[in-house]
Chains A and B, each alone.
Chain A
Amino acid sequence: MDDTRDTDPRFRHLEKKVGIFVLLMIVGLMVVIFFVGRERDLFTKKYILYATTESGMGFTKGMPVNLSGFKVGRIHELSLDEDAKVRVAIKINKKYQKWIRRGSVTRLLKEGFIGKPVLEITVGNPLKLKFEEGEELPFERIGGFESLVEKARPVLKEVEEIIKYVNNPEGDIKITLNNVRKISSELVSTSKEMSDTIKEIKSTAVQANILLGSLNEDAMPMVGKVDGLLDKALNIVSNVENLSKRLPAITEKTEETIENMRMLSEILAGEGTDLRGLIKDSADVLKDTKELLKGLKGTWPIRLMLPPKEGLRLLPLDGSKIKRK
C-alpha cells in the first residue's frame, strides 16, 4: 500500500503542493481580513467626542456618523448620565478632525422619511478651534417624518386660532361685519325717508305758494304744516350728521378687519407651502410603503411564508349517507 503511494506520480512533491496551498489560504485569509478591516475602519486612527441628548430614541450602537453626507465614524457607546440624559460617545476618524470645529453640531437625521437613522455632524467654523478628544459636541434633534409633524403642529394651531378668531361672534370681525350690515340698512331707510320728506316739502311748498299768493286767512294752517315739516327735515339732517360722525370709527374698524384678513392670508401663504409639502410627502410615503409591501409580498421567499390566496372552492361532496333535514 505504502509502495503504491511512493511510486504514484500524483503524490510527487506532495509536501510542496500542500505547503503552497496552505500558504495561499493564509494569504487569502489575510487579504480578506485586511479588506474587511479597512472597510470597518479597523486600521485608522480615531478619537472620541461626546454628545448629550434628552432621549436615546433612534440611536444605536454602531450607527454611522456622517459629515457632509460622508461616513466619518460610528457611535461607539450609549450611556445614561447623572441627569438621566443620554450620553453618546462618537468614534471619529482622526483625519476628519480638521472639519469638526467650534460651530459644529450633531443632528439625528433619517435617510428619507422611512430610511435608516444617521447621526450627522455639521462642518464647523474654519477659523475656530478643533474639537479635541473627549470634548462635548452640541446636539440638535431634527429630520424625519416626526419632526415635520412637530413643525406643522404650531402652524396648524395658529390656523386653528385664526379660524376661531374669525368665527368668534364676540370677535372684532364678526362685530364689525354686523355693524357694517346695520349701518348700510340704516342708511337705506334714512335715504328713503329723506327722499319722501323732500317730496312732501316740494308739494307743500307748491301748495303754500298758491295759498300765500291769495293771502287768505284759510292759508294760515298750511303755514303751520310747513313749519312742522321743516322741523322734521331738520331732525333728519341732524340724524344724518350723527351718522356721519360715527362713520370714521366704522371705517377704522373695517380697515382693521381688512388688515387682519391680510395678515391671515399672508400667514397661510407663508406656511401653506410647508403644509402642502407635508401632506404631499405623507401621501408619497404611504404610497411608497404600500408599493414596497406589495412588492415584498410577491417576492420569494416572503411569498412562500404568506398564507395562500383564497381561490374558488368546490363545496365538499360528503362521502356519507347522512342527510341534513
Chain B
Amino acid sequence: MTESSGRGVRNKGYRYYHQKAAHYVLYFLPCMILLIGCGGRKTVELPEAQKEAVVLHQMAENAINKGRYKVALKIMEDALILHSSIDDRNGEAIDLINIGRIFLRIGQYENAEDRFNRALEIATSDKNDIMLSETYASIGKLHHLRGNNKQAIEVLEMAIGIDRKMGHSMLGSRLNLIGIAFSKEGRYDEASGALKEALKINQGNGLEMEVANSYRNFGDLFFEEKRQQEAKGYFIKALEIDKRRGDSLKIGADLKALADIEIIESNFKDAIPLLERAYKVHLNAGMPELAVENLDRLIATYRELGDEGMVDIYQMERESLIDITERNRND
C-alpha cells in the first residue's frame, strides 16, 4: 500500500515536471522565435520617388517655419505630382491635406476646401481611416474659421469618432477644436467637457503645443463666462508652455489675453506692460499686422488712463509701422 502510494506520488511528481517542461517549450520557444524574428527583420528602404517626396516635405516645412507660404505651396504641389506619378494614394492624400492646411493659414479658404474635398475622395475610396479623420478635422477647422460652428461641430464629431475607434494621438487636438466651436455656439458645458478631455489626452501624449492650446481655450471659455480670475490662471499656464516652446505667435496672444482681463477689470496700468510685451513679441517675430493690433489696444488703454503724450507716441509708431509694412509689401 505504502509502496504503491509512493509510486503514485513519484509519477505525479514526474507528470508535474513534464508539464512544466512542456509549458516552458510552449511559451519560451515561441517568445525566442518572435524575438529572433524581430531582430532579423530588415529595415525596409523607401523607393527613390518616396525619398524625394520626404525631402520635399522637409523643405516645405522649413519654408512654412520661415513664413514663406507660397514657396511651401509650390514644393508641396511638386510632392503631390511625385506621389501621383507612382500612384502613392496615401502620399497624395497627405499632400492634399497639407496644401489645404497651408491655404487655411493664409486665409484662402476656397482653395483649402478644394484640396480637402480631393483628399476626402481618396480617403473614402481607399478606406484610409487616418486620412479620413485628418480630412474631417481640417474641414471642421475650415468651417470654424468661416464662422460656421454648427457644421464645424458635425464634421469634428466624425473625426473624433474615428480617432476614438483607432486610438489616434491627435484626438486631443480635435477635442480642442470642438471645444472652441461649442464655446462659440454658447454650449459651454459641452465645451468644458471636450476641453477637459483634450487636456487629459494631450498631457498623456506629451503634446505640449496642444496642452497649451487646451489651457488657452479654457481661458477663453472662462473669459466668455466672465470668470476672469480662472481665465487668468489658464492663460498664465498657456504662456509658460508657449514661452518654453518659443512660439511667438501664441506668446503674444497669451499676453494680449492677459491684458484683456486687466482691461475688463479696469486695471489699465497693469494692462499696459502686458500689451507692450505683446507688441514687442509680435513686432520682432515679423508679425506687423498683429503688432498693429497690439498698438491699437495700447493707444486705447493710454487714452483710458488720460495719458495723451503716450497716445501720440504710439500713434506715430503705429503710422510708421503701417507705412513700413505697406512699403515692404509693395517691394
Q: Chain B: which residue is nearest A9 at the CB level?
A: B6
Question: Interface 1/0s, chain B 204-232, versus A by CB < 8 A?
Answer: 00000110011011001000000000000
A8 on interface, CB distance cutoff 8 Å: yes
Q: A312-B91, A315-B64 are in contact. Are A321 and B174 (CB under 8 A)?
A: no
- Among A10, A309, A325, point to the contact of B13 (Cβ < 8 A): A10
A303 on interface, CB distance cutoff 8 Å: yes
What A residues does B6 contact at CB under 8 A?
A: 9
What B residues does A311 contact at CB under 8 A?
A: 46, 54
Q: A298-B43, A312-B57, A325-B289 are in contact. Are A319 and B174 (CB under 8 A)?
A: yes
Q: A317-B141, A320-B213 are in contact. Are A303 and B43 (CB under 8 A)?
A: yes
Question: Interface 1/0s, chain A 147-163, versus B by CB < 8 A?
Answer: 00000000000000000
Question: Interface 1/0s, chain B 131-154, versus A by CB < 8 A?
Answer: 000100110010011000000000
A320 near B174: Cβ-Cβ < 8 Å: no
- Among A309, A317, A320, A325, point to the contact of B101 (Cβ < 8 A): A317
Q: Chain B: which residue is nearest A319 at the CB level?
A: B176
A binding-site residues for B, Cβ under 8 Å:
8-10, 297-298, 300-301, 303, 309-325
* Listed A/B pairs (18) with beta-carbon separation below 8 Å: A8-B9, A9-B6, A303-B43, A313-B61, A314-B134, A315-B61, A315-B64, A315-B97, A317-B101, A317-B170, A317-B177, A319-B175, A319-B213, A321-B144, A321-B217, A322-B216, A323-B107, A325-B287
Cα A92 to Cα B85 in complex, Å, equals 68
What A residues does B213 contact at CB under 8 A?
A: 318-320
Q: How many residues of B contact A (CB 8 A)?
A: 56
Q: Chain B: which residue is nearest A313 at the CB level?
A: B57
Cα A119 to Cα B176 in complex, Å, equals 69
Cα A122 to Cα B141 in complex, Å, equals 80
Cα A319 to Cα B249 in complex, Å, equals 14
Q: Chain A: which residue is nearest B56 at the CB level?
A: A312
Q: Which of A9, A312, A318 has the most CB of B within 10 A?
A: A312
B binding-site residues for A, Cβ under 8 Å:
6-7, 9-10, 13, 38-43, 46, 50, 53-54, 57-58, 61, 64, 90-91, 94, 97-98, 101-102, 105, 107, 134, 137-138, 141, 144-145, 170, 172-177, 180, 198, 209-210, 213-214, 216-217, 220, 249-250, 253, 287, 289-290
Q: A315-B61, A319-B174 are in contact. Are A300 and B134 (CB under 8 A)?
A: no
Cα A316 to Cα B180 in complex, Å, equals 17
Q: A300-B38, A322-B253 are in contact. Are A317 and B54 (CB under 8 A)?
A: no
A315 near B102: Cβ-Cβ < 8 Å: yes
Q: Which of A301, A311, A318 has the most CB of B within 10 A?
A: A318
What A residues does B144 contact at CB under 8 A?
A: 321
Q: A8-B9, A315-B101 are in contact. Are A320 and B287 (CB under 8 A)?
A: no
Q: Chain A: which residue is nearest B10 at the CB level?
A: A9
A317 near B290: Cβ-Cβ < 8 Å: no
- Among A10, A313, A314, A321, point to the contact of B10 (Cβ < 8 A): A10
Known: A303-B43, A309-B46. 13 other contacts (CB 8 A): A9-B7, A10-B10, A298-B42, A301-B39, A314-B101, A315-B97, A315-B98, A317-B134, A317-B173, A319-B172, A320-B213, A323-B107, A324-B287
What A residues does B145 contact at CB under 8 A?
A: 323
Minimum CB–CB distance for B273 against chain A, Å? 21
Cα A189 to Cα B298 in complex, Å, equals 98
A312 near B172: Cβ-Cβ < 8 Å: no
Minimum CB–CB distance for A311 against chain B, Å? 6
Cα A322 to Cα B13 in complex, Å, equals 73
Minimum CB–CB distance for A77 against chain B, Å? 40
- Among A8, A298, A321, point to the contact of B180 (Cβ < 8 A): A321
- Among A8, A310, A316, point to the contact of B58 (Cβ < 8 A): A310
- Nearest first, the 4 closest Cβ-Cβ pairs linking A and B are A319-B176, A9-B6, A300-B39, A325-B289
What B residues does A309 contact at CB under 8 A?
A: 43, 46
Minimum CB–CB distance for B78 against chain A, Å? 13
A319 near B290: Cβ-Cβ < 8 Å: no
Q: Chain A: which residue is nearest B216 at the CB level?
A: A320
B177 near A319: Cβ-Cβ < 8 Å: yes
B9 near A9: Cβ-Cβ < 8 Å: yes
Cα A325 to Cα B61 in complex, Å, equals 18
Q: Chain B: which residue is nearest A12 at the CB level?
A: B6
What A residues does B107 contact at CB under 8 A?
A: 323
Cα A322 to Cα B213 in complex, Å, equals 10
What A residues does B53 contact at CB under 8 A?
A: 312
What A residues does B216 contact at CB under 8 A?
A: 320, 322
Cα A316 to Cα B250 in complex, Å, equals 15
Cα A28 to Cα B184 in complex, Å, equals 79
Cα A308 to Cα B53 in complex, Å, equals 17
Cα A310 to Cα B253 in complex, Å, equals 32
Cα A311 to Cα B6 in complex, Å, equals 67
What B residues does A297 contact at CB under 8 A?
A: 43
Q: A300-B38, A300-B40, A317-B101 are in contact. Are A322 and B249 (CB under 8 A)?
A: yes
